[in-house]
Structure 1
């Protein structure tokens, strides 16, 4: 029988996002190791103590500078799986039991194949056989690299379970409203503010409201929100793939929202954006890249939580303060907020609600 091993990469960390990622990863792997199709689970992490009590093999990351592809390839050579389940911490934990089983047991006739949550920006997937990826700095381009190597690449249906990923406090404000959040996450989410996220959920099911989405909004998500939310939507999608393409690293990001910033203060920009809807969901990383600054994670995350007192960069501090004081809710984050975060938001918004309030025609028969 082919040997299936699960690899999970957890960067650890004691901040809110780090704790949530580790908690979600534990919740996921406890399910994975119970599946009869999985022979072993391996966790690569710089924080091995966090995993000491889990039913997994812990591989402490070496102290040298860490690079995804090199570590991935090293572990492949060490464990030599026939089939590899790969997960980044923070992804996959909202998969239904049925979808997780389909992922683990999928075996097409292709000699080399992969099943990915997102072909264009991968967070988790099944690779058979696993391919060394030594030159990759991060996991997002896995799908493209496998396709270039001749793999048959399949993509899981897009949903909250397949697309939600913990990357910023933005999506954690939505996750904190989940009625059945895994117990491993409850402590980390206990202090997360939810008032603005709750307002967003209410607006999503109100035909008289309009929600603005800004940033790296994918086409599938845009179509899905259009069909599933009752509200009107105003979407400005820009700079998809800015990191995987290298544009962010080269300083080549160009943003329409960033262009609106020129000649305006951050406060004036927020006031302008607030005129176009009842709530704004904003991937602010595109604006940061356009303006040429990238604060450390602690400051970006403080901005996502609308706490300007913890932000030292003057532009981001003023923008954060303006969003906190705005008369409408601003929900800030990164790509994960305007992708998996919005899938979750729409699903949560319809909890205990009648979906028939949406304006939609009947399908034409025949």
Structure 2
């Protein structure tokens, strides 16, 4: 009995920095999977021509990799999974993206693969709302759910519609940290020392972000400073902060699962700080933050999506995280970023990973300096 891994990797973004980052992360993740003996076969579902070309040239002869090229085809994650399960009689599955969990090590990942083989009718994931990685058996339980068109919905559907017992991965930097934004890239580099080529090539962009992370880390090491953390913040993150830092927490959690529940695509995201931004403007919002806090970690996506901004503008979000308002086209995001850049308190902007695994990595950095 063994586990089959199904990896979904969309076309690597055309944006120069993130393309290089994601390419390195993909090969790193694949290297981890091929070292796990309990995984007998890997399926790569992709429309990226570079990956198809590389793997067709036999990069991984030690473990068979079945390529499913979706270029010029309609993509539907659930239908592809169902077809693979039926065609190959798969029983135990690991499903993930190709760049997920960049800080997880082989031993940690192997532990969950073994657990999948040891227990019947189980679902293992790192996030109860929207799993980045999902392991489950029996695989044909997928026939009892609405087939999801994206991985964000898979774990929820298997749990609530197929009745699989959910086992959450033990919280750790490896399980929670993901790379979606420039802030995540710099944190990853500071922790691992990897991505040197990217950091050197784009040093002019990342320099100020490096300085900001150091400034935030310095405040987090001090006693009883006021930490503002907003966005898709989970209870375990607050518990982790309380365990390892001596700060006073001002946390406001909102819109967890907004992607998996379709709230972004349906434009239903609703944010307290979004309403404050509408009423007070960027200056009023950040003045409020500065009056009550010493340091800020802000999941800006919730605010942007409340304002119906940034949904189709990856580059505006990217430059906002880098505090480069002069490169941002959207006027609301540009003004927000300008005021954040000028803030009197050190702060970071980012997405869900920043207020999840990013917190773990910031605490790791603060405690290791």
**Normalising by structure 1, what TM-score?**
0.87
Q: Any idea what SS the aligned residue of 1:39 has?
A: strand
Q: Does 1:171 align with 2:170?
A: no
Structure 1 residue 82, shift from structure 2 partner: 2.2
The residue that corresponds to 1:203 in the other structure is 219
- Taking the aligned partners of 2:110 and 2:360, their CA distance within structure 1 comes to 21
Q: CA RMSD in A?
A: 2.3
Shift of residue 317 of structure 1? 0.8
Aligned to 1:154: 167
* Cα shift at 1:128: 1.8
2:262 is matched with which residue?
A: 246
1:362 matched residue in structure 2: none
Residues 203 and 210, structure 1, Cα contact 8 Å, conserved in 2: no
Residues 1:163 and 1:6: Cα distance change in structure 2 (over 3 Å):
same
Deviations 1:81-133 (A, max 9, x none): 22112221332231233311211211466532222112222001322222356
Contact 1:72 1:134 in 2 (8 A): no
Q: When you count helix as a share of all residues, which structure comes out higher? A: 2
1:188 corresponding residue in structure 2: 198
Shift in Å, 1:284: 1.0
Q: Which residue of 2 aligns with 1:145?
A: 157
Separation of aligned partners in 2, 1:118 and 1:7: 18
How many matched pairs? 348
Structure-2 residue corresponding to 1:346: 363
Q: Contact conserved, 1:3 with 1:81, CA < 8 A, in 2?
A: no
TM alignment of 1:305-344, pairs within 5 A? 305-344=322-361
Residue 5 (structure 1) aligned with residue 4 (structure 2): yes
Any idea what the Cα deviations from partners look like across 1:169-218, whole Å, max 9, x if unmatched? 2322322211x34x4x4433443331111222222221143221111101
CA distance in 1, matches of 2:116, 2:266: 40
Where in structure 2 are the equivalents of 1:116-131 lying within 5 Å?
116-130=125-139, 131=142
Q: Label 1:67 to 1:308 Cα distance change in 2 as closer, same or farther (>3 A).
A: farther
The partner residue of 1:278 within 294, 312, 323 is 294
The 3 A distance-change label for structure 1 pair 90 and 76 is same
- The answer as to whether partners of 2:92 and 2:117 remain within 8 angstroms in 1 is no
2:280 corresponds in structure 1 to: 264
Going from structure 1 to structure 2, the CA distance change for 1:107 and 1:175 (only over 3 Å counts) comes to: closer
Following the alignment from structure 1 to structure 2, what is the Cα–Cα distance between the partners of residues 47 and 109? 35
Report the counterpart of residue 361 of structure 1 in structure 2: none
Structure 2 contact 244–363 (Cα < 8 Å) conserved: yes
Equivalent residue of 1:140, what SS?
helix
Distance 1:292 1:14 in 2: 24
Distance change >3 Å, CA 150–CA 208, structure 1 → 2: closer
Residues 22 and 89 of structure 1 are in contact (CA less than 8 Å); yes or no, is this contact kept in structure 2?
no
Q: For 1:325 and 1:73, how far apart are their aligned partners in 2?
A: 51
CA offsets 1:58-99 (integer angstroms, 9 cap, x no match): 332232343332333344344442211222133223123331
Structure 1, unpaired ranges of 5+: 353-366
Asked if the contact 2:226/2:295 (under 8 Å) is kept, the reply is: yes
Distance in structure 1 (CA, Å) of the matches to 2:265 and 2:106: 38
Q: 1:280 to 1:24 in 2, by over 3 A?
A: same
Q: TM-score, normalised by structure 2?
A: 0.86
| Structure 1 residue 164 displacement after superposition | 1.0
Q: Bigger shift: 101-110 or 116-125? A: 101-110
